[in-house]
Structure 1
Amino acid sequence: MSTFGKWIESNIGFKALASAGAVAMASYYFYYHYLINKAADTIVPYTIPSNFDESQRKGEIRVKSLFVYPIKSCKGVQVDKIALDQYGVVNDRRFLLTHNNRFITQRVYPNMAHIEPQFSQDGKELIVTAPGMDRELRVPLDPAQLGGQQVDVVIWKDTTTAIDCGEEANKWFSEYFGKDIKMVTIGEGYKRRIEKQFFEALNYQDQSEQDKDKLQTSFCDGAHIHILSEASIARLNSLIRATRHQKHEKQEADLTVQTFRPNVLVENAFADEEDSWSTFDISGTTFKRVEHTPRCKLTTVDPNKGVIDIYGDNEPIRTLRQFKNINGQPVFGIVCIHEQDGRTISIGDTIKKL
């Protein structure tokens, strides 16, 4: 076996692959990119995969894990099922933290990674804890129970009307951050369409303004739901290891699903296979992809330590920029909208490309 082949076997773990053919294909894939990187840090145009060897598939493509992120850019909550409504995943990114009425995220406040929301046992309250705080915060999930004032907030290019979560919540977060922070939520008067380019992706650009108003979204970055496969995460970790090896850098711990913050984690898909899903079904609910998920420096935040770019290597952005780059933007996972409200997705549900 070649020196590079030995390195692949010991560092990426291809002993675990099922067949010699899979080993050969994977070794070629990484060796090809290894040679490119060894010559120069060349950006390789990303081609969305389309052909897959079904004989290598381990079983039906299914939902492995589900997550909601009640407060934008804070810790997620792993759940057994999620419900869908007009804004996306129920209870997902329905709360927002603001400074001077503008949203904040881990991009600037990486210690948001330590803020941990949970749902009360009766499902009526959000319970929030964080390191250094001597008390938990309880906030009603029903905005009607807040009695808060309407306030205009800015999220990216959008200005929308939200509901102030009240003095107690604002005081709690201001104490945690050491500056004036407010917590707001979606309530009466809230309107925020999905991004303009998504209408074009859906061929909805000629729809009436009234019809476009039906496609609303929560405080998420773009649209309803984010989907990613565990195989894609495994491949990205392999590419990062190869990049670090080529640059003679120390190998660090693999990235986990928490880094990428999907709502749906998929099993039994091939690596990057979800990139090829334009329309697909999850147990009777139709989804349409509106974009491949753009990635930014938020993914360099260590979700356990709340530190940005802890190793100073800009991973995973550095590797994504080389190997999964679409029009100059590193991408990973897919952003989708659902076509039917009131549906539920559960762990174990099957996924079928339409």
Structure 2
Amino acid sequence: MQIKQLFVYPIKSLRGCSLHETVLTRSGFPYDRCFMLLKVETDDQGNRRLRNMHVPHFPEMALFLTDLILPNSEDPNGKIIVTYQIPPVSENKGTKTLEVPLQPGVEGLEELEITMHRSSTVGYNMGSRYNDWFSECFGYPVILAYIGQNRRKVLGSMSPSAHNDASGGLLSNIIPFFGKKADNDTVLTFADCAAYLVVSETSVDEVSSRLDDGYEMDVTKFRPNIVVSGAEMPWEEDFWGELAVGESGARIVLTSNCVRCVSINVSYETGTHGKTENEQVYKKLTKDRRVDKGAKYNPVFGRYGFLKGDGDVPIRVGDPVEVTRTLSERTTFDWPGLASSSR
């Protein structure tokens, strides 16, 4: 098997960027989900409330493309180019673009406590220059938040070290993490619950076979980081426990299934929940892919993983992939209070 595609998502729930090469780190690919959007709401007492924006609840997020310009001699900070496509996209009604610094300074920025799936960290309000642009596109007020050097803790038994805690068990891993930096070596940005999502191209092709002739499943709707080609059978990845990837043989420990939500139905054409039969992928998968006892109502597609060992390991499209450990039975999804992922 080999690596077929690599993806990074610099702003959570917006469309991602395809990469030819990058490096593996403990908290994911560099710049993956280091920004996220928050909807500004007001409660009955007039107080500001910030709501995390995820694509299943805000399908219009699928209308935003991102392009990653890595740091270079001319621009040592790099940037994200965000393009908003006015729907319906096929009618070419126009676009708007915004440049966001990839590594902005945080001095003087408002600090925000951001909790995702009971795991908290501190983010930074990027300010009116960016918030106003996104607010105009969405039609309601939003804030662009940056995570900086802060990270979130992995909860439940998702982390490879979950059962090796110094206190003697799993309990300490289900206590929410508050603060600026996690002292655990397995940490997250604004990704839902793992550093990496690995999917098999063979299984993507199997999903395509459920659609009408001429239609293919868009793998990016599954929001993978690593797409592996060459698996002999669809769904064999359910039993992958560990992969060796790249020329260095870096190990990725696969700790959990990715249990799905309706985000895989979102139309990239309209930024709404898809209504055609070929867009009802979630329904098609519920027929036979509800195979995780920890999330019995949600279909499974892909495996969550974490880097084992030191970080900054080069990885590129075309690199070999070997399954170095298989499981005798499927893992059970275990993240307190979370039953599905939108990535």
TM-score band, normalised by the shorter chain? Answer: 0.7 to 0.9
Matched residue of 2:153: which SS?
coil
Matches within 5 A, 1:91-106: 91-100=31-40, 101-106=50-55
One-letter amino acid matched to 2:303:
I
Of Structure 1 and Structure 2, the greater strand share is in 2
Distance 1:286 1:121, change over 3 A: closer
Tell me the secondary structure at the aligned position of residue 113 of structure 1.
helix
1:125/1:141 contact within 8 Å kept: yes
**Residues of 2 paired with 1:252 and 1:299: CA distance?**
19
What SS does the corresponding residue of 2:165 show, helix, strand or coil? coil
Matched, 1:86 2:31: no
Distance in 2 between residues matched to 1:146 and 1:301, nearest whole Å = 37
Question: Aligned pair 1:286/2:240, yes or no?
Answer: no
Question: Which residue matches 1:345?
Answer: 315
Task: Find out whether 1:204 has 2:163 as its counterpart.
Answer: yes
Percent of counterpart pairs with the same letter?
A: 26
> Could you give the per-residue CA deviations for residues 221-273 of structure 1, whole angstroms, max 9, x where no partner exists?
111001111110111222x24xxxxxxxx768231212211111111112222
Partner residue, 2:91: none
For 2:85, the equivalent position in structure 1 comes to 131
> Relative to structure 1, is the Cα distance of residues 293 and 212 closer, same or farther in structure 2, using a 3 angstrom cutoff?
farther
1:352 Cα offset (Å): 1.0
Mapped pair 1:219 → 2:190: yes
CA contact (8 A) 1:143 1:163 kept: no
**How far apart in 1 are the matches of 2:134 and 2:237?**
37
CA displacement 1:43-80 (0-9 Å, x = unmatched) = xxxxxxxxxxxxxxxxxx00011111111111111110
CA distance in 2, matches of 1:313, 1:352: 33
Give how far 1:290 is off. 1.4
Structure 1 residue 171 and structure 2 residue 132: aligned?
yes
Helix, strand or coil: the match of 1:262?
A: coil
Task: Determine if contact 2:120/2:153 at 8 Å carries over to the other structure.
Answer: no
Alignment correspondent of 2:62: 113
CA–CA distance in structure 2, aligned partners of residues 170 and 105 of structure 1: 17
Aligned to 1:229: 200
Code of the aligned partner of 2:306: I
**1: distance between equivalents of 2:109 and 2:65?**
23
Q: Which residue is equivalent to 1:335? A: 304
Q: 1:218 to 1:121 in 2, by over 3 A?
A: closer
Within-5 A mapping of 1:125-164 = 125-132=79-86, 135-144=96-105, 147-164=108-125
State the Cα distance separating 1:150 from its structure 2 match.
Answer: 1.6
Paired residues in the alignment total 283
Task: Name which one, 1 or 2, has greater alpha-carbon Rg.
Answer: 1
Contact 1:67 1:264 in 2 (8 A): yes
Which one-letter code corresponds to 1:338 in the other structure?
Answer: L
1:190-248 CA-to-partner distances (Å, cap 9, x unmatched) read 2311122214x65535345699722111111111001111110111222x24xxxxxxx
- The 8 Å contact of residues 15 and 66 in structure 2, kept in 1 or not, is answered as yes
5+ residue gaps, structure 2? 41-49, 73-77, 87-93, 174-181, 325-343
Aligned equivalent of 1:27: none
**Which of the two has greater helix per residue?**
1
Calculate the TM-score normalised by the size of structure 2.
Answer: 0.76
Paired position in structure 2 for 1:276: 239
Deviation at 1:159, TM superposition (A): 2.9
Superposition deviation, residue 147 in structure 1: 4.9
8 Å Cα contact 2:267/2:279 also seen in 1: no
CA 178–273 in structure 1, closer or farther in 2 if over 3 Å, else same: same
CA contact (8 A) 1:102 1:154 kept: no
- Equivalent residue letter for 1:259: K
- Kept in 2, the 8 Å contact 1:63–1:267? The answer is yes
Equivalent position SS for 1:258? helix
Alignment map for 1:275-314 (pairs within 5 Å): 275-283=238-246, 284-311=249-276
Structure-2 separation of matches of 1:287 and 1:278: 9
Aligned partners of 1:141 and 1:337: how far apart in 2? 23
* Aligned equivalents of 2:274, 2:4: Cα separation in 1: 28
State the distance in 2 between where 1:168 and 1:312 align.
Answer: 40
Q: Is the 8 A contact 1:160 1:192 kept in 2?
A: yes
